[in-house]
Amino acid sequence: MSAALQLLPVYRITVFVPPADVEAVKAAIVAVDDLAIGHYREVMWTSAPGIEQFRPGPQATPTVGSAGALTADPTVRLECSISRDAARLQRVLQAINAAHPWEVPAVFVDESLFPLP
C-alpha cells in the first residue's frame, strides 16, 4: 500500500508570453524565486505556441498591433507554482511584469493543491 500524498497549498501562476520572450521571463522569475517543489528547483511548464487575440483601446500603447485594430499574435503558455506566500507571489508577479514586453501581460493566479508523495 502506498503512503498518503501531502497536498501542498500553492499559487499556480500562468502567463502568456510571445515566443521570443519566454526565456527572458523565465530567467526573471528564477532570479527572484527558486520555484522549489519537493527536491526540485526551477519547476516550470511551457505549452506549444497558441494564438492570443486582443483589440487595444484608444488609450493603449500596444507592443504589437495598434489601438482599435483586432490583433492575433502567437504566445506560449508558461506556468509555475509556489507555496501560498503573499510576499513571494508579489516578487514573482513583479519579475514577470518587468521582463514581459506587453503593456498589460496576461497573468493569472489560481489557488491550487500540489500533491507530494
Q: What is the CATH number of the domain that holds 80?
A: 3.30.70.120
2 within domain boundaries:
no
72 within domain boundaries:
yes
Question: Are the C-beta atoms of 53 and 71 separated by less than 8 Å?
Answer: yes
Share of residues in the chain with pLDDT > 70 (%): 98
> How many domains are there within the chain?
1
The per-residue pLDDT for range 41-84, each reduced to its tens digit, is 999 999 988 999 999 999 998 888 999 999 999 999 999 999 99
Query: Is the pTM above the cut of 0.85?
Result: yes
Predicted pLDDT at 11? 98
Structural domain including 93 reads 7-116
Predicted pLDDT at 74? 95
Distance CA 15, CA 109 (A): 9
Predicted pLDDT at 26? 98
